[in-house]
Structure 1
């Protein structure tokens, strides 16, 4: 059996076992496991538990706000790397402090800050609110969720430092950051599993997307090491893209689908398509990201080898087929999102619908970007490498035009209920959206045009680079600076809103229509309309605007 199919098979089996145990429990050991995990999450923290608050929603707020702060640094690192591509000496003065700025290293720092600092923290932060809501219970430990968010931030900081200098005093920095990251993720998983164990109702499918995303990271790491996939470039490439499909795509899809119902007030258009998204994220290879597995090799450190092996014909066929299948869950997710949000206000004028614009943007752009990524990855797997020059620009597009908008949109949709206040300024939210969107679309598109020009010149064996290509890169980097400004506007809006935002009333707090417990009947309607709102046979229908008081004559 080839590397790709064997590794995928082990991953599927292990993930199925984890799902089975979550559904069935640990037999007579379930109560023991619950008690042990509860002790580890609360009492085992010792004095550390007194450093943070454990009020409801504190954990989710902490993760989301820190994710917003990392969004600023992620955009700054990415912008600086784009600028240094055409002007390597722009930050030469920093050499007097002992730091030599390098475009590739700053691009790597931007990737770590974007994926682990922004997207991951938004996914985990939203999950701390969504899973308890869908399970009909409270989060097992708000204190633990709040505390480990700061440890996660430290791990991201270590990864960013490691991207600049991976060896300090003979110690590999990136594996250290990844190890710290996984320790925190283990605490997050235990917290969520204990919450699920106390559920009072069945969890809707978006919740399972989030749970599978969280579980996939440690499972994939173990499978990659045990199966030997981490020892060669083929296995490292596969591990990188499985992680992108299960953790990032499934996690973002889960919180975005839940948020689309929150933001629009509509039920999810199709529960079947949510299931297709879940199954597809597990059984396909996501083409987003780099064309190699360098990040995986850096993450595993001494546990991984640098064996360079060409893709066999069977590996090429398996990889190409599984990547082509990713169009099914992507189309299912995109169509479900867009139809669910039909009629909602895309321009965030409604204070109760913050995040709609970002959710719409990510849902539209995921299709063309995944198609482009499919062509680039297939080209790399086949060994042709004709499109290698645009892989970096397309990878940044996947981050800033799909993952960040969807995760940010979900966080903004949940913001009022988590904070108890609206965003400070809807005008600032609007400007933040347009600055980020315009900067990312125009900046990265212009940069990609320059990439295509360089590819064409290389094919013609032209030695001197084109001045036009260099000028386009300057324009692209300047345009991308809008993303930095937009990130700052969004973050300031969220932070200021915690203290000065308009207080929300209980009536304005929206609940997800994924699972409806009551339906307010305000006018004559049909059974079909009630059921289409997400109601079932146990939903309580409550007439409004009526009372039992005795009527009297109207006084003129």
Structure 2
């Protein structure tokens, strides 16, 4: 059992560690001296021996590898999620596989779909996009393209292990999920080291989206260390807390940093508010994220621990509920900043890859946040009145918010990373509408079935409802559109690498970097100047024009 003091202690250790990290980075990351930087680069490349030569080190190779693997994992995650939804109303649909010794259930397939989608699809899209965005914001190159590319395959291997472990947690006496976590942690530490080396080579100040990406990466290991130091990993409430600390740090902050940069690229507008960026960063670190499971069983499985009963005492439920409610601040700030930037008056939309996906995720995040808040508060207080709809709302948070935001950002950056555009914009639009119908309509129908089931259970009715069953069938059929959509996205992105139109020249779209000077050659509007990346401190320099004819130049 964990009490309020233990919760605050865990969070305090996390907050203090984040503050120390900020001070170190803000003062120039002095720990990366010339000697340390050289040793770190040796660890990333030369220490790996001949293996490092298996991948190419061209600029953009690493982000491309991560993003292309992410879309493949999203396809696999969609398949497992669909199968889990189908087995909810037809448990014997895959009974034929029992002849091979494989007996899948709706719970195991849904868990596999969640893990693959979250850590394979979403996480790889965020890390890959971050490997392009962070160097761009800092005015430098990624420290080691080769290592980042090689680590992407190590990360993929960890997802394969996760898939096996979610179906059979123990093989030959080995905890498979724990092995997958160990591999995943090694890959994540390599990514963090690579990005910190990139940060140490920056040529100017650190823009706020870069802070979001960096804190998103380091918050994962900091959360685990803080929970381990305070001993909260062995309690149900502590496992729940760690799960949501990682969700609010690694996933939410990384998503915010990547999406805010992508919105400026897609729209051609500067970020609407830099103050809201600060609210996103502070709120993401100092509140408890609401998205995700209502218990800590997944966190326990990843760490090889027994899932304990989630019990709050000593006012801990009040503290947790308060921090859950306060997470509305960063969520609303993110939605407002991304939507207004995306829909600004001077939005260019010349290259609108991913525009629809980012727009969908930014619109859906508020209602799904509210549903998740009610769900988490219900679980924390021990009421458990609406726990029957938890699985569907968790799936909605993944596929209606996180997948559109992360994958949409990857699509928006696809031309800049690969040097080619998508193979077919028409196919991309078809995939978007299929995914929208599959996720929104399919999961809403499934949610209606869950509500009917809970109402009958509360009324003491034992006979199953035919209407609830029919709605479950309809919901799973609609969600199959999402599987088709991911097939189209996979084909579109893979084909784009070979048949997509070559990006001839870099479009002069704005970014989150504030330019120092702006050359004014003719009359223009203030909005257009700000849209180029200028800020309040940018020096506007008039450039003179002359109608005099030219003459020969003396050599």
Equivalence for 1:456 = 455
Does residue 1:213 correspond to 2:216, yes or no? yes
Q: CA RMSD in A?
A: 2.1
Q: Give the Å deviation of 1:22.
A: 1.9
Equivalence for 1:40 = 43
Q: Give the Å deviation of 1:93.
A: 1.0
Task: Show structure 2 runs of 5+ residues with no match.
Answer: none
TM-score computed with the length of structure 2 as normaliser: 0.95
Contact 1:351 1:422 survives alignment (8 Å) = no
Partners of 2:227 and 2:52 in 1: CA distance: 35
Does residue 1:196 correspond to 2:199, yes or no? yes
Does residue 1:336 correspond to 2:337, yes or no? yes
Equivalence for 2:466 = 467
Q: Give the Å deviation of 1:21.
A: 1.7
Equivalence for 1:325 = 326
Contact 2:268 2:532 survives alignment (8 Å) = no
Assess, with a 3 A threshold, how the Cα gap between structure 1 residues 84 and 305 changes in structure 2: closer, same or farther: closer
Q: Give the Å deviation of 1:523.
A: 3.9
Q: Give the Å deviation of 1:87.
A: 0.5
Equivalence for 2:162 = 159
5 Å-filtered alignment, 1:100-139, equals 100-139=103-142
Equivalence for 1:88 = 91
Q: Give the Å deviation of 1:3.
A: 2.5
5 Å-filtered alignment, 1:170-319, equals 170-301=173-304, 304-308=305-309, 310-319=311-320
Runs of 4+ in 1 over 6 A off after TM superposition: none
Equivalence for 1:534 = 533
Contact 1:2 1:314 survives alignment (8 Å) = no
Partners of 2:529 and 2:477 in 1: CA distance: 51
Contact 2:138 2:203 survives alignment (8 Å) = yes
Contact 1:344 1:356 survives alignment (8 Å) = no
Partners of 1:40 and 1:46 in 2: CA distance: 10
Contact 1:401 1:441 survives alignment (8 Å) = yes
Q: Give the Å deviation of 1:30.
A: 2.1
Partners of 1:350 and 1:473 in 2: CA distance: 39
Assess, with a 3 A threshold, how the Cα gap between structure 1 residues 225 and 462 changes in structure 2: closer, same or farther: same
5 Å-filtered alignment, 1:301-450, equals 301=304, 304-308=305-309, 310-343=311-344, 352-450=351-449
Partners of 1:452 and 1:328 in 2: CA distance: 29
Equivalence for 1:477 = 476
Q: Give the Å deviation of 1:516.
A: 3.2
Residue deviations 1:496-518 (CA, integer Å, cap 9, x gap)? 01100111121436452543366
Partners of 2:387 and 2:375 in 1: CA distance: 7
Residue deviations 1:316-371 (CA, integer Å, cap 9, x gap)? 1100000000111111100101110115899xx96612111011101110000000
SS of 2:309's equivalent in the other structure is coil
Partners of 1:271 and 1:323 in 2: CA distance: 24
- More divergent stretch after superposition (22-31 vs 324-333): 22-31
Assess, with a 3 A threshold, how the Cα gap between structure 1 residues 274 and 450 changes in structure 2: closer, same or farther: same
Partners of 1:341 and 1:26 in 2: CA distance: 34
Partners of 1:344 and 1:120 in 2: CA distance: 32
- More divergent stretch after superposition (280-289 vs 518-527): 518-527
Assess, with a 3 A threshold, how the Cα gap between structure 1 residues 317 and 526 changes in structure 2: closer, same or farther: same
Task: Show structure 1 runs of 5+ residues with no match.
Answer: none
Equivalence for 1:489 = 488
Residue deviations 1:212-232 (CA, integer Å, cap 9, x gap)? 010011111111111111001
**What is the number of equivalent residue pairs in this alignment?**
547
Contact 1:62 1:146 survives alignment (8 Å) = yes
